[in-house]
Amino acid sequence: LDHPERPVDHIIITHAHHDHLGGLPTIIRSFPHASVHMTAATRELADILLPASARLQQRKLREGSSTSDPIFSEDDVEACSYLYVSHDLESQFDITGYKGKSPVRARFFDAGHVLGSAGILLNYLENGSVRSLFYTGDTGMNPQTILPGAAYPDEAIDTLLLESTLGADPETENTSRRGEEIRLGKGISETLKAGGTVLIPVFALGRGQEIIALIDRFKRRGIIPDETPVFTAGLMRAISNIYDKTRHTTPRLNQDFQVSGVPQNRLPRGQAAFKNSLSEPGIHVVGSGMMFERTISNRLAQILAESEENAIFIVGYTPPNSPGHHIIEAAKQGRGTAVVIDRARGEQSLNCRVERFRFSGHSHRRDLLKLVDQLNPGKIVLVHGETKAREWMSDNIRYFNADIDISSPGTGDELLI
């Protein structure tokens, strides 16, 4: 980004997940006069997520779980906040650069991924004609439990920046959300009846709130007992408050629903009280979703893993190096298989029930192909996907649209639009 002839005047944040927001303070260090554009909900989330990230980096260094210096501090985050500019969905705003020779206009569209998420439409002049570029961001076309599906421009697009997260995942396109909801409700019910505890590791933003809403639905429909205790903790609770605060100003399936209106017990910090929360059948919806060491979900998994009556239900992405992935792979080998959940503790016998559920906030690959047909772009840039995912998307787009110019840039590559 450090190019003297092309200074960064504007930064657009599509949503508040860390892989899209977490590098902002380091970019601002290089471009302290840039304006940072986002939705109002994303701005509220950034105000709690970025300081939390700064504190976590400091704690990891202090505890010795990381040898890297923090990449930014809470002071850096505070400096960023003065540059934030929030915009309503589908309202036009100007992002013409300082040296811009023609105007550039932008509009946010609901991306249906998490609270505040947005795709971005840019309109600009080129040789006297108005041109357009649309970036989907992380996009979910289908309704979740709280959020409706995404909205898109109703015009043809010249250039489409298209996410491809699930491009290499054939299972997702053949899995219905309704079927996964039924399966999860059944699994929770069976575990509780057996006297066990259910652990559902979640991301603090998005999946956590959606799962709490599902549990509320299960209780209201009599699938699980209404008195079943539900435990939550930490950052997820603060984010849930923002979900509730913005329920009348952001897209919702039911604006009256409040996450904090679902009875929840705060998971206690002390070790004795922590274990006491497991004294009766209940549900723990806690981070981290990938079950990394020293997180609440990892600590709980160590306690629950060896007893057959318990269950670990994984509802999100788990990368190959994560304890969550190790648990899934061990469970495939059958009960009693050895697994390392925490390296300091070493191998444990995995006897509890383990299942994986697909509640992705991303569109599956067939839906993305339909979006290409809908927007009819002349050029597509594939982003946010592993190599195999982008290859599948590229091959299948070309099969149906031979004339589209498709590129799949690597990190640091420059594209001329």
pTM here?
A: 0.94
Across 281-296, average pLDDT = 94
Is residue 350 within 8 A of residue 330, CB to CB? The reply is yes
Phi, psi of 379 (to 5 degrees): -140, 140
Across 73-81, average pLDDT = 94
3-class SS of residue 356 = strand
Q: Of 165, 158, 156, nearest to 393 (Cα)?
A: 165
**What is the per-residue pLDDT for 414?**
86
Q: What is the pLDDT of residues 348-403, one digit of tens each?
A: 999 999 999 999 999 999 999 999 999 999 999 999 999 999 999 999 999 998 89
Which CATH architecture group holds 176-356?
A: 3-Layer(aba) Sandwich (3.40)
CA angle 145, 217, 116 (to 5 degrees): 25
Q: What is the pLDDT of residues 391-406, one digit of tens each?
A: 999 999 999 988 999 9
Q: Of 243, 203, 246, nearest to 20 (Cα)?
A: 203
**What is the per-residue pLDDT for 41?**
99
**Tell me, what amino acid is at 46?**
A
Asked if the model's pLDDT at residue 89 lies above 70, the reply is yes
**Tell me, what amino acid is at 290?**
M
**What is the per-residue pLDDT for 105?**
97
| Region label for 331, one of left (φ > 0), alpha (ψ between -120 and 50) or beta (otherwise) | alpha
Residues contacting 57, CB < 8 A, separation 6+? 66, 68, 70, 71, 72
**What is the per-residue pLDDT for 7?**
82
- How would residue 412 be classed by pLDDT, with cut points 50, 70 and 90? confident
| Buried/exposed 383-402: b ≥16 CB within 10 Å, e otherwise | bbbeeebbbbbbebbeeebe
Q: List the chain domain ranges.
A: 1-87, 90-174+362-417, 176-356
**CATH code given to domain 90-174+362-417:** 3.60.15.10
Q: How many residues does the chain have?
A: 417
